[in-house]
């Protein structure tokens, strides 16, 4: 089962990246959209829904800033955000969202 995902071209998205804004993917290059990337972003959309969207973005930014301060590395700070750890750990598994537990981004077993 493949979920329909809305993908829009936008200059808001940094080059080479995809932004998930309230479940809509923004990118400069639609060719970079793969099934694994869509699944990764669907995991983020599930996280957003659990947190009523705005708190997701606030927590994401604050967690990234905290990790940037502690690691002093942009990439490591990004990859160690709890939301990203879950999405990267399960982005390849198309069935993950069916069995995902609430608040999985903060459960230890979701990123192992």
The domain tally of the chain equals 1
For residue 16, pLDDT beyond 70: yes
Q: Is the pLDDT of residue 112 over 70?
A: no
Task: Find the mean pLDDT for residues 44-57.
Answer: 98
Domain containing residue 57:
7-107
Does residue 2 sit within a domain? no
The reply to whether 83 falls in a domain is: yes
The rounded distance, in Å, linking the Cα atoms of 67 and 72 is 8
Record the pTM: 0.91
pLDDT score at 1: 44
* Any domain includes 112: no
Q: Does residue 1 belong to any structural domain of this protein?
A: no
Task: Tell me the C-alpha distance between 13 and 7, whole Å.
Answer: 12
As given in the structure block, the two tokens for residue 34 are 């793969």
């Amino acid at each position: 089962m493949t979920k329909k995902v809305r993908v829009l071209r936008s200059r808001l998205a940094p080059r080479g990246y995809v932004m998930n804004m309230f479940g809509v993917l923004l990118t400069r290059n639609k060719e970079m959209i793969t099934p694994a990337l869509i699944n990764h972003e669907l995991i983020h959309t599930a996280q957003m829904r659990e947190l009523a969207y705005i708190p997701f973005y606030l927590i994401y930014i604050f967690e990234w800033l905290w990790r940037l301060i502690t690691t002093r590395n942009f990439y490591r700070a990004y990859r160690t955000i709890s939301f990203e750890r879950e999405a990267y750990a399960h982005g390849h598994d198309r069935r993950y969202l069916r069995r995902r537990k609430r608040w999985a981004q903060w459960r230890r077993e979701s990123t192992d």
